[in-house]
């Protein structure tokens, strides 16, 4: 898929205020500091579209971007991360509620991309979130990020271990993408997946 243009549309805390759900939509979410903004910018080849920050928890709203507005358009959604570093419990609970409401009630949401830091062992919060997605019958893929930070042997070992942990509770694995924002690794694979999935929109 060729990304011709990408444009910010709106930020909201209520799924009812989001843009009209008449286009295929894909949400990106992960723990704080997982490299979400960098991945989004890499995918659409637009540096600065999603705001990056050295401070975890920067994204606090449901951010909609329209991709290829004039030809086969679709929405990319940047969601608040979970596991905020310096956030009050009450604020995190509010963000969690509107995010979960969006995920459950957004009818044109075709897939959720769950970002996982490839350098880390399986984290309870990620595993619990993926279980929640499955329980709510929400389609999702796993996107391993920051793979350029590891050599091939360690990366392979980490990914194999992660898959084994998942298979302890899952009969089959969701689709997995291995990415690096620095090297633009995984970009074509994710965009091809989106292009193919777009055809499923009623």
pLDDT of residue 82: 79
Does 109 have pLDDT greater than 90? Answer: yes
CA gap 67, 82 in Å, rounded:
25
CA gap 33, 126 in Å, rounded:
13
Which position has the higher pLDDT, 74 or 13? 74
Strand arrangement of the beta sheet that strand 176-178 belongs to: 6-12, 62-67, 74-78, 25-30, 109-117, 140-145, 176-178
Does 54 have pLDDT greater than 70? Answer: no
Does 157 have pLDDT greater than 70? Answer: yes
pLDDT of residue 202: 78
Q: Which CATH number fits domain 6-198: 3.40.50.300, 1.10.10.10, 3.10.290.10, 3.90.226.10?
A: 3.40.50.300
Q: What predicted TM-score, i.e. pTM, was given to this entire model?
A: 0.91
| Mean pLDDT estimate for the chain | 89
> Which band of pLDDT confidence, cut at 50, 70 and 90, is reported for residue 4?
confident
pLDDT of residue 106: 96
Q: Where are the domains positioned within the chain?
A: 6-198
Q: Which residue has the tokens 């979960």?
A: 100
Range 126-144 average pLDDT: 95
pLDDT in tens, 142-152: 999 999 999 99
pLDDT of residue 51: 66
CA gap 82, 59 in Å, rounded:
10
Which position has the higher pLDDT, 45 or 154? 154
- Axis-axis angle for helices 124-135, 152-166 (nearest 10): 50
pLDDT of residue 97: 85
pLDDT of residue 85: 44
- Axis-axis angle for helices 187-198, 36-44 (nearest 10): 70
pLDDT of residue 46: 83
Does 67 have pLDDT greater than 60? Answer: yes
Does 90 have pLDDT greater than 70? Answer: no
pLDDT in tens, 165-188: 999 999 999 999 999 999 999 999
């Amino acid at each position: 898929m060729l990304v011709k243009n990408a444009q910010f549309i709106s930020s909201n805390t209520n799924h009812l205020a989001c843009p009209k759900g008449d286009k295929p939509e894909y949400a990106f979410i992960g723990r704080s500091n997982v490299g979400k903004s960098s991945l989004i910018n890499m995918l659409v080849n637009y540096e600065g579209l999603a705001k990056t920050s050295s401070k975890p928890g920067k994204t606090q709203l449901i951010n909609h971007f329209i991709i290829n507005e004039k030809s086969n358009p679709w929405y990319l959604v940047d969601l608040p991360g979970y596991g905020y570093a310096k956030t009050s419990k009450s604020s995190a609970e509010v963000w969690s509620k509107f995010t979960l409401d969006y995920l459950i009630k957004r009818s044109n949401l075709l897939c959720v991309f769950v970002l996982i830091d490839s350098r880390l062992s399986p984290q309870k919060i990620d595993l619990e979130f993926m279980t929640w997605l499955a329980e709510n019958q929400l389609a999702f893929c796993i996107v391993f990020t920051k793979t350029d930070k590891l050599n091939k042997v360690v990366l392979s070992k980490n990914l194999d271990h992660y898959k084994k942990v998942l298979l302890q509770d899952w009969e089959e694995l969701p689709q997995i993408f291995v990415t690096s924002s620095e090297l633009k690794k995984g970009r074509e694979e994710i965009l091809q997946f989106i292009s193919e999935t777009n055809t499923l929109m009623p």
